[in-house]
Amino acid sequence: MSLTAQAEALTDTEDLGQDGAMMCGRCRATGIDVRSFAPLIGATIALGVRPLAGAGWTPYPDDRRLIDDLIDLADQVATHANAAGRLIGTAQATRAHAAAMFADAACADPPREMDMAYWASVMGDCDAAAEILWPLLHRLRAVYQRLMAAPEHLGETYAAVYRLVTAGRVLPYDGRWITGAEVPS
C-alpha cells in the first residue's frame, strides 16, 4: 500500500467523531448546559461529524463517567495523531532515501532513466502523503487540546454547584434548574 493510500486511510476520523456525537447526545440527555460542553462539540465537528440534537440518548449517571469518556476519546485521538506522526516520519525517511537513489541513478554513466522514474514516483508518493498528513496532524492536535480542555470547562461552569454540594447543601431534584430546562410534568 502506498504512503498516500495509508495517509488517506488515516484521514477517516468519522468513528472518533461518532463517539464525540454520542457523548454530546448523552450530555444533552443529562441536562448539562450546552455551553459547558462546547469544547466537546467543537472537537466532534472538527472530527467531521455534526452532533445532532434529539431524544433517545442515555444520560450520564455521574460526572465521573463523562470525564472518563472525554479522556478515553482524547486518548483515541492522541493514538490517531501518533499514527499520523509516525507515517510522516516514514514518508520523510523514505523520501530522503528515494532522493539519494534518484541522484545516484542520475549520476550514472549513462543515467539509469528507469530507476530515476521509479525513485521520482516514490518521492511523489511521499510528497502527496505529507500534504495529507500535516493538516491531519494539526487538526488532531487541535481536537486533542479541545477535549483536554473540556473537563476544566465543565468544572468552571459548575464550580458554584460543586462548592454548594461540598458545603453539605443539597441540589433540587434532577438539577435541571442549572440549565433552565423545564421539568417534565
The per-residue pLDDT for range 40-80, each reduced to its tens digit, is 999 999 999 999 877 788 988 877 888 889 999 999 999 99
- Cβ neighbors of 71 (< 8 A, separation 6 or more) are 151
Helices (H), ranges, the chain: 3-10, 14-30, 38-46, 63-107, 113-157, 159-166
Tell me, yes or no, if the pTM score tops 0.85: no
Q: Which of 1, 45, 8, 48 is nearest to 133 (CA)?
A: 8
As given in the structure block, the three cell numbers for residue 63 are 460526572
Look at residues 155, 156, 148, 154 and name the one whose alpha carbon lies nearest to residue 71.
Answer: 148
**pLDDT digits over 132-142, tens only?**
999 999 999 99
Torsion angle, alpha carbons of 62, 22, 147, 128, to 10? 160
Measured between alpha carbons, how far is 59 from 158 in angstroms, rounded to an integer?
17
